[in-house]
A and B are shown apart, each in its own frame.
Chain A
Amino acid sequence: MDKKKPNMSPVKVPMPEQAPDIRNRNYDEVALGYTLDMAIEEATRCLHCKHRPCVGGCPVNVQIPDFIEKIVTGEIEGAYQTIIETNSLPAVCGRVCPQENQCELVCVRGIKGEPVGIGRLERFAADWHFEHMEKQPEKPASNGHKVAIVGSGPAGLSCAGDLARLGYDVTVYESLHVAGGVLMYGIPEFRLPKSLVQTEIDQLKALGVKILTDHVIGRIMTLDELLEEEGYEAVFIGSGAGLPGFMHIPGENMNQVYSANEFLTRVNLMQAWRWPESATPINIGKRVAVIGGGNVAMDSARSAMRLGAKKVSIVYRRSEEELPARQEEAHHAKEEGIEFLMLNNPVEILGDEQGNVTGMRIIKMELGEPDHSGRRRPHPIPNSEYDIEVDTVIVAIGQSPNPLLRQTTPDLKSESWGGIITDENLLTSKAKVWAGGDAVTGAATVIQAMGAGKTAAASIHAYLTER
């Protein structure tokens, strides 16, 4: 390779985006992606350092400097092939991974200036591949072993992809009518286009992965039946964290109070934004309050704005510094006109006799000593309650693992808060059953779930070949 001098610009090549006042009223993707020239320019910022810290920062160990080098030389398809050696969903990860806490956090360029835009380059390589792809990947030769996967979210798909590449006969069971899990029901179209998730899933199908939607494991079949009657030699559970949390404050069961799960599922999975063309309705008032400060809260607020709300406020009990959302998401939300009410905690949702929301009572908070998470614990300021006028409330304070499999599988051990207990190889207390992703850790990120799917795939492979 021509050893050109690296591009020493201290900042990333900017990402083209839709203007905030345009995009906050449409459902098209916000970030538009690099052109080839932009990608090459950004790729030349990589120093190709010997110790490659970025690879260790990636939960699925993408060989980052290698794919970046291929972008520099214009071998974009080669860059894509390098990425998918370890990452089954590059177009997804390039968009929704919190790179700032992972690969880009440890990038040497980040010491003085901005790190290399690894996520943007990953997205570019994947988008380029899908645009220029002439044929689907070929199905590897079968090794004759059958594995079942419960849940088609990032953990399940990642596990399925790795096992399929090794020749396993993989069947993924999905409870909803669409595969993709949180990528389909949770993350909005404007951040992760659904057609793109479908394209990624189609790649896995081309590798031979079978996906059975409308199958609620635990109800239509138990784990024991999968192992004993359906002939699977191993099962991976990637059933996610689908159980919504509520505040347990008065008024929470009023009609226009949604869990973020319900709100986003109606909008993304059921396409309520297209009602009445799609059959599922949603009620969006003029003033919407979103309770919580994570990415799900940002997604909910930005979706509400796009659905026509006049004013959308994020109500969070700590300060902006503690916001669990990615900075980029909070930044985008602010640009789009979302109000941030920090150090505010709802104490009651107010309504009329028909159960319609009319307002929310909020108490102001202040930060005290750090708690077990290291963040300063918020305390209510006495007598600081005030009311705001809202007609829709979205509760986005977290999700916990779906209890259905635990309830229907007595020998599957779990934590008191619901997480399935596993060893370091993600094997559960039940023989031949592995678990990973949010079902084990509680709500986390797409890429952590994918990393878990990968770890489990390796462990299942080791088990089935060493047996």
Chain B
Amino acid sequence: MYTILNKKQLNPDTVQLDILAPKIAEKALPGQFIIFRVDEDGERVPLTIAGSDKKTGAVRIIFQTVGKSTLRLGDKNPGDSIASFVGPLGQPSELDEYKGKRVAVIGGGLGAAIAYPQAAYLHEIGAKVDIIAGFRTKELIILEEEMKAQSENYYLITDDGTSGRKGFVTNVLEDLIKEGNEYDLVLAIGPLVMMRAVANLTRPYGLKTIVSMNTIMVDGTGMCGCCRLTVGDEVKFSCVDGPDFDAHQVDFNEAIRRSVTYREQENHDREEEMKLHRCRVTGEVRHG
């Protein structure tokens, strides 16, 4: 069992938890992920590590409460525990070569939480970091102050223009490139369609672009192949070969198709879980 140390609600559907896992905290590097299971009947869900502290043994995860497992995880409070917390998994991001170089870090929605530790690491080793953070609307903005502190320039953009500029992260990046900003690396983390759009934008410029592929997984150790994706001519496993890949080589259309494999079951589970949540609010008996 793994104990929850701290909890913070970052926006209405995004939760940050610090979980006691000293051995993982000791080893975790930017870009790596963990797999959690809430309870004994829980599924194995991968989440990118959002930070870790060797001194306290805490590993930070940030997630959206959008499915059965994340809703249940979001219900947990400090002092509660969860059944499994496995990691650190995946290859760490290769960032050290960007010391002194210019990097654009793009985080879309929850992707901002995943991009943040990478931006912080790059900032720490002396890269010049510009952050472009995109959200659907103002109330979903997360980690704004933290990201400002780890960047030269922070660009905020919302789909509806309720905060910052109106539009998409690609609008900002395109302008920055056209204004003559020369980046050595673009790191884009967010929804698959956003990462595909960034890849399409940077491809003609030959601008190296890395994306983090958060595919469906079961074991997360290279055993099942559920997380496979096409990168160039090869089939790769996101869990052991990634999760970082060259954005210009990734077959995003295939990845998007594969990401909805269990859409029907996910919707069913979410609806059932939401019913349980409503019961709790109205004080009725909660099952499960």
Contact = CB atoms under 8 A, between A and B. Distances in A.
Contacts of B235: 246, 248, 252-253
B242 to A, nearest CB: 14
B260 to A, nearest CB: 8
B282 interface: no
Contacts of B42: 279
Interface string B43-84: 110000000000000000000000011000000000000011
B27 interface: yes
A177 B83 contact: yes
A281 B258 contact: no
Contact of B258 (A221, A244, A255, A274): A255
Interface stretch (B114-122, B170-178, B221-229): B221-229
Nearest to B67: A279
Interface stretch (B94-102, B105-113, B129-137, B261-269): B261-269
Contacts of A220: 23-24, 27, 87-88
Contacts of A243: 222-223
Interface string A211-253: 0011110011100000000000000000000111010100011
B216 to A, nearest CB: 10
Nearest to B256: A355
B159 interface: no
B208 to A, nearest CB: 24
B222 A219 contact: no
Interface string B217-237: 011011111101110000100
Given A177-B37, A216-B86, A248-B235, A279 B43 contact: yes
B114 to A, nearest CB: 19
A253 B218 contact: no
Interface string A252-267: 1111101101100110
**Interface SS of chain B:** mixed
A270 B44 CA distance: 8
Given A216-B87, A253-B228, A280-B43, A402 B222 contact: yes
A402 B223 contact: yes
**Interface SS of chain A:** loop
A319 interface: no
Interface residues of A, number: 43
Contacts of A221: 23, 27
B218 A276 contact: no
A270 B218 contact: yes
A90 to B, nearest CB: 27
B27 A219 contact: yes
A305 B283 CA distance: 43
Contact of A279 (B68, B87, B221, B261): B68
B179 interface: no
B258 A216 contact: no
B111 to A, nearest CB: 23
Contact of A246 (B87, B89, B225): B225
Given A177-B86, A253-B228, A403-B240, A276 B272 contact: yes
Interface in A404-438: 404
A202 to B, nearest CB: 17
A280 B226 CA distance: 13
A176 B240 CA distance: 15
Nearest to B237: A243
Contacts of B83: 177
A195 interface: no
Contacts of B221: 175, 216, 242, 402, 404
B230 A253 contact: yes
A175 to B, nearest CB: 5
B258 A355 contact: yes
Contacts of B44: 177, 270, 280
Interface of A: 175-177, 185, 213-216, 219-221, 242-244, 246, 248, 252-256, 258-259, 261-262, 265-266, 270-271, 274-281, 283, 354-355, 402-404
Given A221-B23, A243-B222, A270-B43, 19 more contacts: A175-B86, A176-B219, A177-B37, A177-B83, A185-B223, A214-B86, A216-B87, A219-B88, A220-B87, A220-B88, A242-B221, A253-B235, A261-B224, A262-B218, A276-B268, A283-B261, A283-B262, A354-B257, A404-B240
26 contacts: A177-B83, A185-B223, A213-B84, A214-B84, A214-B85, A214-B86, A219-B89, A220-B23, A242-B221, A243-B222, A243-B223, A253-B228, A255-B258, A265-B218, A270-B43, A276-B265, A278-B41, A278-B43, A279-B41, A279-B43, A279-B69, A279-B269, A402-B221, A402-B222, A403-B222, A404-B221
Interface of B: 23-24, 27, 37, 41-44, 68-69, 83-89, 218-219, 221-226, 228-230, 235, 240, 254, 257-258, 260-262, 265-266, 268-269, 272
List the 8 closest pairs (A to B, CB-CB), nearest first: A355-B257, A281-B265, A262-B224, A279-B43, A242-B223, A259-B225, A280-B43, A255-B261
